Amino acid sequence: MSDEKDVARLKEEAARRAVTYVEDGMIVGLGTGSTARFMIAALGERVKNEGLRIEAIATSEASDVQARELGIPMTDFAAHSVFDIGIDGADEVERGTLELVKGLGGALLREKIVASACRRFVVIVDESKLVDRLGTHAPLPVEVVPWGWERAARLLAETGAQAAKPRMVRDKLFVTDNSNLILDCHYPGIDDPAALSRAILAITGVVDHGLFLGMTSEVLVAGTGGVQRLVP
Ligand SMILES: O=C[C@H](O)[C@H](O)[C@H](O)COP(=O)(O)O
């Protein structure tokens, strides 16, 4: 089996475990990304095969489309301010603190809005996402309004980022579901995530960033030895 297939299998294992937490009557926040895709697929199976009765809210257009295609009933913030459980992937999980970097898929803003509305926020990852210090494996994505983004990029560099570059897709600026841009900020490790969060949010034009601090209820980490459950 190739490495890629191994990783996909681990992501699916973590995703399937998290879906066992979902019960009849729950309102569920659906994450975004390749691991969340497995989770939405598994949830769709339960809705179809077991008649599981839930409503869900998606953190991206892509997850929304997938969930609707699978027949998962969807809801929104017009109907609810609080959700029972949110299940989402991550790009980095710091061992010990379980603080996160998210947003490599560009969905960080809606993901953070939904995670902050969930009573329980379950993170599903394969073991390659565990790090000793945030910022060492993945850049920190920062969502900014398009107007004046160049200034925001320069000010982000002053927070210690070695580079704050607009994300590009096929030579074009990547645009989020919220019509904003993503600046990928490369830090040489993040020693004080809370201080960095404050510094980034103080920049006018920044909408939010991919540091998810104090939000994790638990992490399900799939590795070769099975799925491990980590709690803060
Ligand atoms: O914007 C994307 C999200 O934060 C994803 O949850 C994160 O990038 C992890 O994605 P994946 O499961 O594909 O590694």
Three-state DSSP state, 101: strand
Q: Which domains does the chain have, with CATH numbers?
A: 3-128+213-223 (3.40.50.1360), 140-208 (3.30.70.260)
| Encoded tokens for 49 | 């095969």
Give residue 19 CA to ligand 1 midpoint distance, Å.
17
Answer whether 140's CB lies under 8 Å from 187's CB. Answer: yes
pLDDT of residue 2: 57
Three-state DSSP state, 96: coil
Nearest to 184 by CA among 213, 144, 126, 147: 144
Binned at pLDDT 50, 70 and 90, residue 1 comes out as very low
Q: 14-70 pLDDT, tens per residue?
A: 999 999 999 999 999 999 999 999 999 999 999 999 999 999 999 999 999 999 999
The pTM for the full model equals 0.96
For the segment 198-215, the average pLDDT, to the nearest whole number, is 98
Three-state DSSP state, 141: strand
pLDDT of residue 163: 87
Q: 97-132 pLDDT, tens per residue?
A: 999 999 999 999 999 999 999 999 999 999 999 999
**Residue with CA closest to ligand 1 atom 9:** 90
Give residue 168 CA to ligand 1 midpoint distance, Å.
17
| Encoded tokens for 20 | 């066992």
pLDDT of residue 211: 98
CA separation (Å) from 178 to 72, 209, 232? 23, 14, 31
| Encoded tokens for 113 | 């809005």
The catalytic residues are: 111
- Ligand 1 atom at minimum distance from 11 CA: 12
- The whole-angstrom distance between residue 94's C-alpha and the CA centroid of its chain comes to 14
Nearest to 131 by CA among 118, 140, 122: 140
Annotated binding site for substrate: 32-35, 88-91, 102-105, 129
Largest CA distance in the chain: 53
Answer whether 79's CB lies under 8 Å from 66's CB. Answer: no
pLDDT of residue 214: 98
Whole-angstrom distance, CA of residue 184 vs CA of residue 140: 6
Neighbours of 167 (CB within 10 A): 17
Binned at pLDDT 50, 70 and 90, residue 3 comes out as confident
**Residue with CA closest to ligand 1 atom 7:** 90
